[in-house]
Amino acid sequence: MEEPLPAPPADIRDDDPKGASSATPAERLSLLVERERFARKDAGSLDERMANLAGALRRARLENAERSAAISDLRAAEIARLEMLGEALAPVLAQLPDDCDIFDVGVAPGERPRLFIDQIGFVEMDRDRRTYRFLQDTRHGRVGLCESDSADDLVEAITAYIAHRLIEREKALAIDYASGGAAQALAVRAATAREKSTAREADASFAGKVTHAAAFIAEFFGAAAFFALSAVLAAWVYQTYFAG
């Protein structure tokens, strides 16, 4: 047999809203428990609520700092992986022709660190921070040339890319030379500049010789005039003071 529920206190019976006096003892006990719970909840002071907010702010700041540190660590890891890939490409870059300056391999740090191969080709890390993505900017948009989590695969793909770029450069130079284009015009301008420089040097040399000759002649005649004037002056002094 179930035990009867205790009757609620008299003060609760007096404060019951309209219609509560006819409620069962279980309903009245439930109402009492709910009122006590709200009373305890409203008993918290303003200082306690402010302390709770301050603690929440501190926790939010710590979480934000940890998240920023994690992002910084991920970016540093990306830069380290790209630098290792650049070091792996060093033997390939050492074989480039001396007059080839279209490749400038280097890591550009930023929000998305990238290893640039030239002005239009670069390598960046995927969202998982482990997969390399070799991309190229073209007139039709950005295209992917290789995507792998192995640095050896990227080295092979970049080596093939550099080889194709060198062939394109040779074709451009050959077409330019065959069509008498800018390369030939540049050679003509260089030859003309050398001729003008030689002519200026010759003119300067001739002018210097003429200047030296004129100075010698002027000095010679000046010395002759000085000695002649001295002889005339000596003869006049002799006739004036010593002859008589």
User: Mind listing the pLDDT tens digit for each residue in 105-152?
Assistant: 888 887 889 999 988 899 999 888 889 999 999 888 889 999 998 889
- C-beta separation of 196 from 133 below 8 A: no
User: pLDDT value at position 11?
Assistant: 47
87 pLDDT exceeds 60?
Answer: yes
**Contact assessment for residue 129 and residue 74, using Cβ atoms and an 8 Å cutoff:** yes
pLDDT for res 185: 63
* Cβ neighbours of residue 182 closer than 8 Å, sequence gap 6 or more: 176
Going by pLDDT thresholds of 50, 70 and 90, the confidence category of residue 78 is confident
pTM for this model (two decimals): 0.47
The span from the CA of 183 to the CA of 6, in Å, is 108
The answer, yes or no, to whether residue 28 has pLDDT greater than 70, is: no
pLDDT at 210 over 90: no
DSSP 161: H
The tokens describing 174, both together, are 């050959």
Among the listed ranges 19-28, 62-71, 146-155, 211-220, which one has the minimum average pLDDT value?
A: 19-28
92 or 38: which leads in pLDDT: 92
| Band (2; pLDDT cuts 50, 70, 90) | very low
Q: E strands of 15-150, at which residues? A: 106-108, 114-116, 121-125, 132-138, 141-148
Per-residue pLDDT, averaged over 60-87, amounts to 80
| pLDDT tops 60 at residue 52 | yes
For 37, 64, 65, 155, 215, the CA distances from 52, given in Å and listed in that order, are 19, 18, 20, 55, 101
DSSP 128-139: TSS-EEEEEEET
The pLDDT assigned to 136 comes to 92
> What are the Cα distances from residue 27, in Å, to 1, 33, 36, 42, 154?
20, 10, 14, 23, 74
Domain boundaries, the chain: 10-43, 88-178
Instruction: Give the model's pLDDT for residue 10.
Output: 46
Burial of 117 (0-12, 13-18, 19+ CB in 10 A): buried
pLDDT value for 156: 93
pLDDT of residue 59: 77
Q: What is the mean pLDDT of residues 10-36?
A: 56
Conformational region of residue 228, where left means phi above 0, alpha means psi within -120 to 50, and beta covers everything else: alpha
pLDDT of residue 218: 81
HSE of 44, CA atoms in CB hemisphere, 13 A: 11
Are 135 and 121 in contact by the 8 Å Cβ rule? The answer is yes
Residues 192-201: what's their mean pLDDT? Answer: 79
